[in-house]
Amino acid sequence: MKFEKKDILGIKDLSIDEINLILETAESFLEISTRKIKKVPTLRGKAIINLFYEASTRTRTSFEIAGKRLSADTINISASTSSVVKGETLIDTARNLEAMNPDVIVLRHSAAGAPQLLASLVKQSIINAGDGAHEHPSQALLDMMTIKEHKGKISGLKVAIVGDIGHSRVARSNIYGLSSMGAHVVLAGPAMMLPRDIEQMGVKVFSRIEDAIADADVVMMLRIQLERQKQNIFPSLREYAQHYCLNRKNIKLAAKDVIVMHPGPINRGVEISPDIADDPSYSVILDQVNKGVAVRMALLYLLIGGNE
């Protein structure tokens, strides 16, 4: 099948066929990162701008490495060291970048919908690298790829997503993606961190972690986003950890061969205990990072590979 999309704005816009094509393409890219010379010439002469208005280690580095492994030129702009501090608006910044003729703009922004806005304004392909609490499609794709590799399938699995659901674009993208791929998604978190109408996304919601992770094949823990807690929505990190930390004890409730995932960065001892995060018999956290490069290579290749 052909991949017709101009932009990757969210998992919600992707069909099952498109998700499968991205995952299969990514699987064939995995091998490149194991070579001695980790580079293929496919995107030679193409330019990718990573425009990041929010802090990032994994996603930005992953997009940069993905671009470089395909021989594209990658340019990183972070808001704190750009003209954004002089007051330039997103639209003006984008128009100016457009004038320099890149092929893809990878955008991370704190405002939900910023990538959609950009995509409607500029002719280049836009990849959403996280917009507010809306979507983070490449993260959900790499999560699906990791699950598929460890479980052999996605359909029919029970996936528990636990933590700060309300602030989490990772959760939202994964709910769209995993549900459409046939997984059974359940959520858990304190009431204050659960959006009121989240059940409308077709998921089951629990207030106790124990109920959500019972017999789960996959447990996905979310980071408590301290930087987004404007008002104190829970009394203390310690109290949160007492109720929602994934640890040696409650993990026993999950399926025997459960895998534990986390989009990073980890707050050790808050949402996940260090001995679980570091235990290779449960944790696939670093494997997720590894898959991330392949998924982003696939996205770049499918969007801008080849000649028009």
Partner 1 sequence: MSKNKNTKIVMDKDGIDRCLTRIAYEILEKNKGMQNLVLVGIRTGGVYLAERLQKKISDIERDKIPLGILDVTLYRDDISVSNKKSRMGGTKINFSLDDKIVVLVDDVLFTGRTIRAAMDALIDFGRPKMIQLAVLIDRGHRELPIRADFIGKNLPSSLWEAVRVDLVEKNGVDEVVIEEGI
Q: Coil, strand or helix: which one is 187?
A: strand
Residue closer to partner 1, measured from CB, 4 or 197? 4
Beta bridge partners of 161: 187, 220
Residue pair 201/173 in contact by the 8 Å Cβ criterion: no
Residue 229 CB, shortest distance to partner 1, in Å, is 43
Residue closer to partner 1, measured from CB, 245 or 297? 297
d(CA 219, CA 228): 23
Beta bridge partners of 162: 188, 221
Q: Coil, strand or helix: which one is 77?
A: strand
Binding site for partner 1 (CB under 8 A): 1-3, 21, 24-25, 27-28, 30-32, 35-37, 39-42, 70, 301-302, 305-308
Residue closer to partner 1, measured from CB, 37 or 100? 37
Q: What is the DSSP-derived secondary structure letter of residue 243?
A: H
Residue 240 CB, shortest distance to partner 1, in Å, is 43
Residue pair 296/66 in contact by the 8 Å Cβ criterion: yes
Residue closer to partner 1, measured from CB, 133 or 303? 303
Residue 107 CB, shortest distance to partner 1, in Å, is 24
- Alpha carbon 261 to chain centroid distance? 12
Residue 30 CB, shortest distance to partner 1, in Å, is 8
Place of tokens 């700060």: 164
Q: What is the DSSP-derived secondary structure letter of residue 105?
A: E
Residue 226 CB, shortest distance to partner 1, in Å, is 41
Residue closer to partner 1, measured from CB, 18 or 287? 18
Residue 4 CB, shortest distance to partner 1, in Å, is 9
Distant-in-sequence, close-in-space partners of 292: CB < 8 Å, separation ≥ 6 = 58, 59, 62, 138, 139, 142
Residue closer to partner 1, measured from CB, 31 or 197? 31
Exposure on the CB side of residue 17, measured as CA atoms within 13 A: 5
- Radius of gyration for the alpha carbons in the chain, expressed in angstroms and rounded: 19
Residue closer to partner 1, measured from CB, 32 or 140? 32
Residue closer to partner 1, measured from CB, 97 or 297? 297
Residue 297 CB, shortest distance to partner 1, in Å, is 10
Residue 73 CB, shortest distance to partner 1, in Å, is 17
Q: What is the DSSP string of 257-303?
A: T-EEE--S---BTTTB-HHHHT-TTTB-HHHHHHHHHHHHHHHHHHH
Q: Tokens for 11, please give them.
A: 């998992």
Residue pair 15/292 in contact by the 8 Å Cβ criterion: no
